[in-house]
Structure 1
Amino acid sequence: METRFNNIPAYIYTRDNIIRLILLTAAFALVFINLYKPFSSESWYKVSEFKFFLSSSLIILTGVLVVVISRIIMYYYGKKRSISYSAYAVWILLEIFFMALFYTIYTILLNPKREYSAAFKESVINTSLVLLLPYAALHLYFSYREKERQLRSWVENHAETTAQQNAYSFYDEKNELRLSVKRENLLYIESADNYVLIWYLNKGIVTKFMLRNSLKTIEESLTDTNVQRCHRSYMVNFDQVKVIQRRKDGIYMELGVDKVPDIPISKTYSKKVIQYFIDSSC
């Protein structure tokens, strides 16, 4: 699809950026007309330097109302519809036209001898410079700020994702985060009525954390991880499992960590657990 049919970035017509655009455009117009006096603008009004400054400042700031009204309309229009590049270009051309028309009327009122077409042409040239130069600079600045924001957001999201990948997070029944454990430190999870006990290593010491939630909910949150259900009352981190052993009273997993009991495997989960252990050990 051609560029002119693409939509302009939404950051162009956010409230903060519209305010920045209006303020910088007004400031630039004041400096441009009063300091550089393009196209002999001091000859428009036969007055002293100070009076020229006051009158031109008033005229310029009044003319900037065209931009204010235009951008307010754009702000509310942009909330409902997208704005294409071609539509935005036309929008700016209309701003130039109406502001030039505004300045032309001022010029004719203050100097009736001036030819309307010549005054309008000169106003279009000046207005184009007054608007397009700050617009170009601001759009580059807005684009830079947006790229910076996107990069910062990506870094933050990447860091958060990396942290999530390196740790298991546990939430209570109100979906509030209560505990995060590094993957290599999690041992097993045990059901205890309306709670679960999360067993993990903290500075090499076996530690437990009681969390109000169900084992089933925890199981669902740990789908596609190495923490697997092996019993109606247990889930185990298979990164910690060293041995699976069949005994007279059933099948058990040994985690190889002091003071950690062997975890039973129920018949319901035995086939799945043993196969998972074999596959993960390959």
Structure 2
Amino acid sequence: MIKDTADGTPWTVELPERASARDESFVFVRDGHRELIHLHDYARIYTVPGLYERVVQDLLQCRSPIVAVDGAIAAAAELGRALATLRVLDLGAGVGLVGELLRAAGVSAVVGLDNLVEARDACMRDRPGVYEDYLVTDLELAEPAAIEHLAEGQFELLTCVGALGGGHIPPGALIRALNSLTGEALLVMTVHERWLDVDSVDPFSLAFRAMTAGGYLEVLQASSFTHRLDMSGDPITFRLLIGRRTAPVPVDLILM
């Protein structure tokens, strides 16, 4: 049992007893009240301190943040880029798990970006000081001034962990984030293997294939790992992708 630090009322979570791979909800129990919450209802989950970490990190054993950060550290070292001076943009930052790991590894400048104000509020509540700044915006719909402001960050590494494909961060937002980077910056992301199938028509899949085929993104490393367990206890396989942006990406790439 974990205590909700917001009001001291103890709470617990229950996973489905006879779950299938399609089950994506859990029961949140507090003060005699039972609430069914979908695993991707982040706006609701983030309002409870520690709830995301308890369900996703502890019970479902999510490894994407540590795998991504370890990959970023190794790639930076191989390319001779010093962690202490590396500027990182964390796209889909959520409650700040990736940012916290990056800072612990020695990265001094990390900026978080998410389209949910609840994510920023939760991060500022639970991990204050992890990010140099935390921006809340939908990059796909952002005004040019917001994009220009982002580019002023001179980011050399973009992380996007578990937030691509399947209707999460749209490809337009990923492309705008990539275009805010400086020079031949690095990209580190973790993606469900299904979105990398050659026959996938998911918008991310189409954009990713177009970026690599067009020479805008060079994949330096691709490796499979267990992202987390599903509600039935079976592993979900993701792929760690480490790439280098070699040229600015046309915003309308997948329409070309």
TM value normalised by structure 2: 0.26
Question: Greater relative contact order: 1 or 2 (C-alpha under 8 angstroms, separation 6 or more)?
Answer: 2
The structure with the largest helix share of the pair is 1
Larger Rg: 1
Q: Which has the higher strand share?
A: 2
